[in-house]
Amino acid sequence: MSLWTNVKGTKVFSYREEKKDEIITEVAGIFRSGGVVALPTETVYGLGAVVLHRHAVNRIFTVKGRPLDNPMIVHLGDVSQVDSLVEYLPPELHILAEHFWPGPLSLILRRKKEITSLVSGGLSTIALRIPHHFIALHLLRELAMPVAAPSANISGKPSPTEAAHVIEDFAGKIDAILDGGKCPIGVESTVLDLTGDAPVLLRPGSISREELENCLKRPVIVPERQSNLNKAKSPGMKYRHYAPEAHLILFKGDPVVVEKNMKYYYGKYLKEGKKIGILCTWEKKEAFPKASLELLGRQGDLKEAAVSLYGALRNLDGRGVDIILAEGFREEGLGAALMNRLEKAADDVIEN
Ligand code: TXA
Ligand code: MG
């Protein structure tokens, strides 16, 4: 039996424990020969290429429709690989790597000049992370070469948390997809900049600011919301992200007022004959009987909300809704990461 099935010319491998060594060897071979391959990580699927293969890295920008100034995260299998990529190793790197790697933390460091600036979008820095997903880690260790891998979605669309999402965006456009099932976290890694005097949180993720501060025993700076988008420190901050096709309205603030406001807009759009999608926690489902519902777990279960968020946005688009009314989360811990993604995906934010 073949290890893969052909979907429009893309090899789709279904990871199976009993075939793991053969599958990893075969997929590593595609990477080594300059292929572009989607792989599962604990956060979201990544669209990967070996950093040394400039042509393959270029293809990632092209197939994603990603602006060339938006740098990619470089994935490693082992911390010993950091030295060859980075100019200076700040003391925080050792502390954080010891504590959080492998895991969903990307660290921005000064790049060695000889490393291609293509992955860094022309910046003098580089983002590094060692993922802890067992398939990604096995593959990266087998390859023993750094792999550039942005999220495996068309630029601007919701990130992929299962292979079906990657197939939807890239079947026929990339060499292979390694299907490892659903991603257990569901939102992208925390991005922390270690190139300045103090660590700066460029993107919230499942490792929270509080956890980072406890580990480093010093404050972590959170930049003000960018008013001048062109001055964004992380180039990814200035583009629209994670966005469904439908018009998304995010409701935030006091939960009681949020529910009242969501019901008001639900009634208004229903009267206008709009097809409405609702993104809410399980407890609110009775309030919107005629809407297309996507439930993000029970109230307070932020892990479940993170796991289901991107799939829910894609599902609502699949059902052709015109408007999505989304319930906000408290901006603490993982809630900060969820709100960061929802605010970027939103066309309007209604705050009470
Ligand atoms: O969880 C994740 O990080 C996933 C998985 C696949 O590992 N990857 C991911 O990559 O989310 P991407 O490209 O979708 O997001 C990377 C973010 C972007 O906002 C980018 O601008 C920022 O990290 N970034 C990358 N390199 C940077 C650098 N040198 N300086 C500042 N920001 C950087
Ligand atoms: Mg992305």
SS3 state of residue 266? helix
Query: Ligand 1, residues 70, 73, 101, 154: which to mutate, most atoms within 8 A of Cβ?
Result: 73
- Of ligand 1's atoms, which has the minimum distance to the CA of residue 45? 6
Query: Ligand 1, residues 72, 155, 201: which to mutate, most atoms within 8 A of Cβ?
Result: 72
Which protein residue's CA is at the shortest distance from atom 30 of ligand 1? 234
Distance CA 138, CA 136 (A): 6
pLDDT at 235: 60
- Is residue 133 within 8 Å of residue 141, measured between CB atoms? no
Which protein residue's CA is at the shortest distance from atom 10 of ligand 1? 150
pLDDT at 237 over 80: no
Quick one: the chain helix, strand, coil %, rounded to 5?
35, 20, 45
Handedness of CA 195, 200, 204, 206 (dihedral sign): positive
Distance CA 280, CA 298 (A): 9
CB within 6 Å of ligand 1 — which residues? 41, 43-44, 46, 70-73, 104, 106, 108, 120, 123, 125-127, 131, 149-151, 188-189, 191, 202-203, 234-236
pLDDT at 228: 40
- Is residue 237 within 8 Å of residue 308, measured between CB atoms? no
Residue for token pair 């030295």:
83
Distance CA 222, CA 304 (A): 25
Query: Ligand 1, residues 66, 116, 128, 188: which to mutate, most atoms within 8 A of Cβ?
Result: 188
pLDDT at 231 over 70: no
pLDDT at 209: 96
pLDDT at 81 over 80: yes
Ligand sitting nearest the alpha carbon of 345: 2
- Of ligand 1's atoms, which has the minimum distance to the CA of residue 149? 6
Strand duo 276-280 + 323-327: pairing: parallel
Phi, psi (rounded to 5 degrees) for 142: -65, -45
pLDDT at 226 over 70: no
pLDDT tens for each residue of 89-145:
999 999 999 999 999 999 999 999 888 789 999 999 999 999 999 999 999 999 999
Q: If residue 69 lies in a helix (H) or strand (E), which one and from where to where?
A: none
**What spacing in Å lies between the alpha carbon of 153 and ligand 2's midpoint?**
7
Residues 223-239, mean pLDDT to the nearest whole number: 56
Distance CA 271, CA 330 (A): 30
Distance CA 76, CA 130 (A): 5
Cα–Cα separations (whole angstroms), residue 349 to 79, 114, 158, 324, 346: 41, 44, 18, 12, 7
Q: If residue 134 lies in a helix (H) or strand (E), which one and from where to where?
A: helix 134-143
In this predicted structure, which of 128-132, 170-174, 221-225, 269-273 has the lowest mean pLDDT?
221-225
Residue for token pair 């039996």:
1
Residue for token pair 């206008």:
272
- Of ligand 1's atoms, which has the minimum distance to the CA of residue 111? 29
pLDDT at 236 over 80: no
Q: If residue 60 lies in a helix (H) or strand (E), which one and from where to where?
A: helix 54-64
Q: 247 has which bridge partners?
A: 323
Distance CA 106, CA 188 (A): 10
